[in-house]
Chain A
Amino acid sequence: MAEIDVENEEKMTFGLAAGALYVFFGILQALASTGLVDIPLVPGNAIGVLVLVVIGAVFLFGYRELKEGIPEGIAYIHVGIGLSLVFGIIYLLVMGADAISAYLIRSEDFEDWSIIDDVRPELYLALLSLIGLVKWRDEFSLKGITISGV
């Protein structure tokens, strides 16, 4: 049992760190969305704020439950990692698509586009979750979730 506790402790710390970072960047993005300030690597996007804050909240929920000694709290950490990766992948795809528009199609709308324009918190914060995924990959074997189809 002791071993599990150590692991949960790690997840607790992870939840706190990831949660705080997501919420922090959510606030930064909210500031950027007002259009009053320009924050590098945080493009303004009102819906993006929601995304960051919600993912942050999921991690923080996990932190809170684990801290209260509820082992099921790891569910929040796992789902948080999942959501964070999903959005990471989405914005990676969007970046790829924009790159095609800019360099391959040479679309007018993308004349001044550079890859930096598409770097956003959802993207680089997902790296953190990637670490989590690699570290706890055995638990993400989706045990109990059955694979449908072949």
Chain B
Amino acid sequence: MGAKNHITVALAGNPNAGKTSLFNAITGSRQHVGNWPGVTVEKKVGKYTHKGIEIEVVDLPGTYSLTAYSIDEIVARDYIVEERPDVVVHIVDASNLERNLYLTTQLMELGTRVVIALNMVDIAEKRGDVIDIEKMAGFLEIPVVRTIANIGYGVTTLMDEVVKEAQKPEHHEHEIGYGKEIEKALVKLESIIKRDTHLVGIYPLRWIAVKLIEDDENIKERIEFSPVREEIEEFLAEIDTIDFEARMADKRYEAINAVLPQVLKKGEVGMTTSDMIDRVLTNKYLGIPIFLILMWGAFELTFTFATPFMDIIDLVFGHLSGWANENIEPAWLGSLIGDGIFGGVGFVLIFLPNIFILFLMLSFLEDSGYMARAAFIMDKLMYNLGLHGKSFIPLLMGFGCNIPAIMATRTIEDEKDRLITILVNPFISCGARLPVYLLLAGAFFGGQAATVIFFIYIFGIVVAVGSAKLFRSTILPGKPAPFIMELPPYRLPTLRTTVIHMWERGSMYLRKAGTIIFVFAIVIWSLSAFNGDGYIEETEKDIDEGELLVGDGAFEGKGRFTVLEDGEGTFTGTVLETVELKSGTYEKDRYYEGIELMEEEELHGDGTFEGECEFLSDEDGGRYIGEDFTVEESFAADIGHGFGPITSPLGFTWKMNTALVFGFVAKEVVVGSLGVLYGVGEDEDRVSDSMEDDKDFSPLVAFCLMLFTLLYLPCLATVPVIYKETGSVKWTGFSVGYGLVLAWLLAFVVYQVGSLMGY
């Protein structure tokens, strides 16, 4: 047999054993690592060249055995069993040998070439365990290499062994004896299976026989069309497979326990630091309160601590935008750069400090090991609300981004539990929504902003669990399935790893700002700067009945003139309603020449007006010559007005509608759009100030807008993930529709009640 120069290597092992850490160390990639079981839920492929041999390395989700119960385990099982990599590197957690070796026995039976990476030896050795790897390799007849995956220790030696092993033929000699009676049955089964020449080519005979006794679903499917199926079934009916299976498992543990004492000298055991911490953090009475105050602490940092850094970025972009508008010629280009790019993209970048702190907190949560505890602490509450214990981790992850969060539901075995967790996940407020709250709460709630935002987050959680309860009592009835989940030991994350994790996700936000948000800022700017007549600038046009225009120039016609804040102008013509102004009283139906109007003064008249004002034409309409400030006539306005009938009961204006429409792409776009729409043609340096000036934009409306943004739609990137994970158009549609309806209803109630109460 010639030397292979291209081999595939799968990394398999128990959850949280360090597979992905090892994958990253080998291939130099940056796949997600975290201190809890179930981080990896998909297979990931990387390349690596070792001594001229090309190696395709495949990282797999963690699994306890080759029988799969959940989707992530199916991925692992199928790859190892069906795709047959040349070598399986079995990552064994040295600090928990016995249980880890159970999977080894299964791999041995399958007859694949296995190399054991004895990982986390640092932990085992620190607590005084001594592991004799020579002996271990001897007993198991498998090469064993010590590794510390997170620092890359042992990788080269490991790959040497892998390459060496890949050149050997597959061997099935090291197998476990199950005792006379079972062995006899196995031999009989093998002799039957042997006659199906097709099957024999795919799997080792003995393995098929064992799996048949274990009632393995996949193998049963495999023999569905086998010519010997009936014979096999007859034989299986004769023996007590349940008892056989139990005895086989027993024998495997027996084999492990025969080897273990000779290989492993255990150091001191007793209460570990992890257990000590757990006594407190998972205490019956203190667990939930401690969890809550830690969340609050994280929140204080994310919000309050970041404020000055936000302000600094805000000021910088404000100045840049102002500068571009004034100095770049032609005017449209100045507006594109100033309002579109600096206004839209810059506006999203303002929130970078918050996003980074948020992700820092989440990294810490994941790497410390507290994440899995949180699931434990919340289990009872979750259960009562109809959510599975394992649902809590995906929900927590949702605070970062709903996409990995929805993928993380793959570890939930029960389909219904999983579906509910997917459906409620979008209500958990992701990082992309945070800028919307920061913008709106910052502009309208001043000192109360932090509390308002905290409330919005809580509200999202309440909607999520409330919906779960609702689904449980209507469309998806039943109780959450019982669960068991391994708790990782607490680890103190280092600054380096935490910062790397933070950067990994935070830079996604940056990249989004540079790509999708950049593009949409330009799109929205274009829509707001153009209408059917072209670029909106110095114009001459007729204004029809009831139309509103904001501009600087001369108006002729009948209508209502409201001078803008900071503006002024003069009116010549007939006053149609008596008004009292600072400069005097003007009588109805009298002709005046050159009435001076000051800021925010209003007049209803028939004639010409010159200056900066908002002009609402009367029945006859009028004519305008000058510079539009307004985006009121743009395509963007048309889009926004189109949704007016739907959103006016919520108090939303067309600008908000437009922002929400484009916010479907990514929730940050809501912020970017508001930035553009409130920036175009305004002189304020800071967009939040011009928002405050909009008289339709009250704190109540701002609050409703936050609520609506929280709930209304999963973002464009999340929808296909929901589809992929549920595998159903119906549920994807339901998810989108449910969110929209709920968002509308809740915003409606809040706005109407709030208005009645006079807010």
Contact = CB atoms under 8 A, between A and B. Distances in A.
Interface of A: 47, 50-51, 54-55, 57-58, 61, 72, 74-76, 78-80, 83, 86-87, 90-91, 93-94, 97-98, 100-101, 104-105, 107, 109, 142-150
Nearest to B303: A94
6 contacts: A50-B293, A57-B286, A72-B271, A97-B304, A146-B126, A149-B494
Nearest to B497: A149
B241 interface: no
Interface string B286-303: 100110111011001100
A59 B496 CA distance: 32
Contact of B304 (A72, A94, A148): A94
Contacts of A86: 294, 297
B124 to A, nearest CB: 10
B86 interface: no
B511 interface: no
Contact of A148 (B271, B309, B493): B493
A50 B289 contact: yes
B496 A144 contact: no
Contact of A144 (B273, B281, B285): B273
B53 interface: no
A150 B494 contact: yes
B305 to A, nearest CB: 5
- The 10 A-B residue pairs with the shortest CB-CB distance, nearest first, are A149-B497, A144-B273, A149-B494, A75-B276, A100-B308, A79-B280, A54-B289, A101-B308, A148-B491, A75-B279
Nearest to A107: B311
B274 A145 contact: yes
Interface string B100-117: 000000000000000000
B446 interface: yes
A75 B309 CA distance: 38
B490 interface: yes
A148 B497 contact: yes
B383 to A, nearest CB: 23
Nearest to B297: A90
A58 B311 contact: no
Contacts of B494: 147-150
B277 interface: yes
Contacts of A91: 300
B626 interface: no
A47 B491 contact: no
B150 A149 contact: yes
Nearest to B447: A109
B150 to A, nearest CB: 6
B367 A148 contact: yes
B579 interface: no
A90 B491 contact: no
B151 A54 contact: no
Interface of B: 35, 122-123, 126-127, 150-151, 271-274, 276-277, 279-281, 283, 285-286, 289-290, 292-294, 296-297, 300-301, 304-309, 311-312, 315, 367, 446-447, 451, 454, 489-494, 496-497
Nearest to A109: B446
A79 to B, nearest CB: 4
B126 A51 contact: no
B367 A105 contact: no
Contact of B490 (A78, A83, A90, A145): A145
Contacts, number: 121
Contacts of B276: 72, 74-75, 78
Nearest to A86: B297
Contacts of A148: 35, 150, 367, 491-494, 497
Most chain A beta-carbon neighbours within 10 Å: one of B286, B293, B367, B491: B293
Contacts of A109: 446-447
Contacts of A61: 280, 283, 286
Nearest to A94: B304
A97 B308 CA distance: 6
B127 A93 contact: no
B293 A51 contact: yes
Contacts of A90: 297, 300-301, 305
Nearest to B298: A90
A136 B289 CA distance: 26
Nearest to A53: B289
B273 A97 contact: no
Given A47-B296, A50-B293, A146-B491, A101 B497 contact: no
Contacts of B308: 97-98, 100-101, 104-105, 107
A58 B446 contact: no
A13 to B, nearest CB: 19
Contact of B289 (A57, A74, A78): A57
Contacts of B279: 72, 75-76
B388 to A, nearest CB: 27
A105 B315 contact: yes
A97 B302 CA distance: 12
A79 B277 contact: yes
A143 B292 contact: no
Given A105-B311, A144-B272, A148-B497, A58 B286 contact: yes
Contacts of A50: 289, 292-293, 296
Given A75-B280, A144-B127, A146-B126, A93 B301 contact: yes
Nearest to A71: B271
Contacts of A58: 280, 286, 290
Contact of A145 (B273, B289, B300, B306): B273
Most chain B beta-carbon neighbours within 10 Å: one of A50, A78, A144, A150: A144
B307 A97 contact: yes
A55 B292 CA distance: 12
Given A93-B301, A97-B308, A145-B490, A54 B277 contact: no
A144 to B, nearest CB: 4
Contacts of A87: 293, 297
A79 B297 contact: no
A48 to B, nearest CB: 9
B168 to A, nearest CB: 34
A83 B273 contact: no
A146 B489 contact: yes
B493 A94 contact: no
Given A144-B126, A144-B273, 20 more contacts: A54-B290, A54-B293, A58-B290, A75-B279, A79-B277, A93-B305, A97-B305, A97-B309, A98-B308, A101-B311, A105-B311, A142-B273, A145-B273, A145-B489, A145-B490, A146-B489, A148-B493, A148-B494, A149-B150, A150-B496
Contacts of B451: 47
A58 B283 CA distance: 10
B312 A146 contact: no
A56 to B, nearest CB: 11
Nearest to B367: A148
A55 B497 CA distance: 28
Contacts of B497: 148-149
A45 to B, nearest CB: 9
Contacts of A93: 301, 305
A19 to B, nearest CB: 12
A78 B275 CA distance: 13
A140 to B, nearest CB: 10
A80 B277 CA distance: 10
B296 A149 contact: no
Contact of A143 (B122, B273, B293, B294): B273
